[in-house]
Amino acid sequence: MKICFAASSGGHLEQLMMLYPMMKKNESFILTEKTNYQFNSKDIKHYDVIQINRREFTFFFKFIILFVQTLIT
């Protein structure tokens, strides 16, 4: 079974990395937002998606881009 660990950037991602031992025991990957700083996922495969704020004017356009990227990957 493959497990997806998903979190927004920052503190939530740090909390998610506390589950690293569980990630190592299972086939898993991390899904998080693309940020300006480098995220060290150790040896766990990870995918970055664009940051989306639902209150931004560009929300709908970014959502469509994210949706298409998800279908392609």
Domain residue spans of the chain: 2-72
Q: What is the pLDDT of residue 49?
A: 84
Q: What is the pLDDT of residue 1?
A: 85
Q: What is the pLDDT of residue 29?
A: 93
Q: What is the pLDDT of residue 15?
A: 92
Residue 57: phi and psi, rounded to 5, are -65, -35
Taking 70 as the pLDDT cut, the residues of the chain under it are 73
Mean of pLDDT over the chain: 87
